[in-house]
Amino acid sequence: MTAAHPYPPGFVWGVATSAYQIEGAANEDGRGPSIWDIFSHTPGRTANGDTGDVACDHYHRWRDDVELIASLGVDAYRFSIAWPRVQPLGQGAWNEQGLAFYDRLVDALLARGIKPHATLYHWDLPQALQDQGGWQNRETAQRFADYAAQVARRLGDRLGSIATHNEPWCTATLGHLVGKFAPGIQDAQIAAQVSHHLLLSHGLALQAMRAVGTRAPLGIVLNQSSVTAATDSEADRQKAEREYALFVRWYMDPIFKGRYPTAPGVSVYPAVHDNDFKVIGQKLDFLGINYYTRIWASSEGLPPPKPHGESDMGWENWPQGLTELLVGLKRQYGELPPIYVTENGIACADRLEGGRVADAQRIEYMRSHLAALRAAMAEGVDVRGFFYWSLLDNFEWDSGYDKRFGLVHVDYASQRRTLKDSAHWYHGHIDAARAATLNAQRPAPALAGGL
Ligand code: IFM
pLDDT at 445 over 90: no
Find the Cα–Cα–Cα–Cα dihedral 139, 141, 143, 147, rounded to 10°: 180
Determine, yes or no, domain membership for 446.
no
CA dihedral 410, 419, 165, 338 (to 10 degrees): -170
Concatenating the DSSP letter of every residue in 97-114 gives HHHHHHHHHHHHHHHTT-
Beta bridge partners of 221: 166, 288
How many angstroms does the Cα of residue 396 sit away from the middle of ligand 1? 7
Ramachandran bin of 277, using left for φ above 0, alpha for ψ from -120 to 50, beta for the remaining angles: alpha
CATH number for the domain harbouring residue 342: 3.20.20.80
Q: Establish if 145 belongs to a structural domain.
A: yes
Average pLDDT over residues 185-214: 99
Of ligand 1's atoms, which has the minimum distance to the CA of residue 347?
Answer: 9
353 lies in a domain?
yes
Assess whether pLDDT exceeds 60 at residue 448. Answer: no
pTM of the predicted protein model: 0.97
- What confidence tens digit (pLDDT) does each residue in 282-314 have? 999 999 999 999 999 999 999 999 999 999 999
Q: What is the pLDDT of residues 309-364, one digit of tens each?
A: 999 999 999 999 999 999 999 999 999 999 999 999 999 999 999 999 999 999 99
Calculate what percentage of the chain has a pLDDT beyond 90. 96
Residue in 220, 221, 396 to alter for ligand 1 test, most ligand atoms within 8 A of Cβ: 396
Listed in order, strand segments (DSSP E) in 158-231 are: 161-166, 218-223, 227-229
Q: Which atom of ligand 1 is nearest to the CA of 405?
A: 9
- Annotation says 343 is catalytic: yes
Q: 155 near 118, Cβ under 8 Å?
A: yes
Structural contact between residues 394 and 21, judged by C-beta atoms closer than 8 angstroms: yes
**pLDDT value, residue 449:** 47
In a domain, 451, yes or no: no
Mean pLDDT of the residues in the chain:
97
Q: How far apart are CA 36 and CA 127, in angstroms?
A: 8
Q: Which helix (H) or strand (E) holds 439?
A: helix 421-441
Q: How far is the CA of 161 from the centre of ligand 1 (A)?
A: 19
Domain that holds residue 256: 12-440
CB contact burial 413-431 (16+ within 10 A = b; e otherwise)? eebebbbbbbbebbbebbe
Does 199 fall in a domain? yes
Atom of ligand 1 nearest to the CA of 389: 8
pLDDT band at 167 (very low <50, low <70, confident <90, very high): very high
> For residue 423, which of 15, 58, 6, 10 has the smallest C-alpha distance?
15
Range 270-279 average pLDDT = 99
Q: How far apart are CA 313 and CA 218, in angstroms?
A: 31
* Mean pLDDT of the region 124-135: 99
Across 154-173, average pLDDT: 98
Is pLDDT above 50 for 126? yes
Alpha-carbon distance of 76 to 337, in angstroms, equals 19
**Ligand 1 pocket mutation pick from 397, 401, 403, 410 by most atoms within 8 angstroms of CB:** 397
- pLDDT in the model for residue 4: 47
| 3-class state of residue 409 by DSSP | strand
The answer to the question of residue 447 being in a domain is no
CB atoms within 10 A of CB 31: 25
- Do β-strands 227-229 and 286-290 pair in parallel, antiparallel, or remain unpaired? unpaired
| pLDDT at residue 442, as a whole number | 85
| pLDDT tens string 61-106 | 999 999 999 999 999 999 999 999 999 999 999 999 999 999 999 9
Q: Are 450 and 412 spatial neighbours (Cβ–Cβ below 8 Å)? A: no
What are the angstrom distances between the C-alpha of 399 and each of 76, 171, 181, 388, 395? 27, 16, 10, 19, 8
Q: Which amino acid is at 95?
A: N
pLDDT greater than 60 at residue 451: no
Q: How far is the CA of 292 from the centre of ligand 1 (A)?
A: 9
Question: Does pLDDT of 3 surpass 80?
Answer: no
pLDDT for the residue numbered 444: 72
Ligand 1 neighbours (beta carbon < 6 A): 18, 21, 167, 290, 343, 389, 396, 405
Cβ neighbours for 443, distance < 8 A, ≥ 6 positions apart: none
Residue 2, domain member (yes or no)? no
Share of the chain above pLDDT 70, in %: 97
State the average pLDDT over residues 247-266: 98
Mean pLDDT of 37-50: 98
Instruction: Count CB neighbours of 228 within 10 A.
Output: 19
Identified catalytic residue from 167, 241, 316, 396: 167
Residue 447's pLDDT band (cuts 50, 70, 90) = low
Which of the four pLDDT bands, split at 50, 70 and 90, describes residue 6? confident
Q: Residue 419: inside a domain, yes or no?
A: yes
Rounded to an integer, the average pLDDT of 255-276 is: 98
Number of structural domains the chain divides into: 1
Q: Is it the case that residue 1 has pLDDT exceeding 90?
A: no
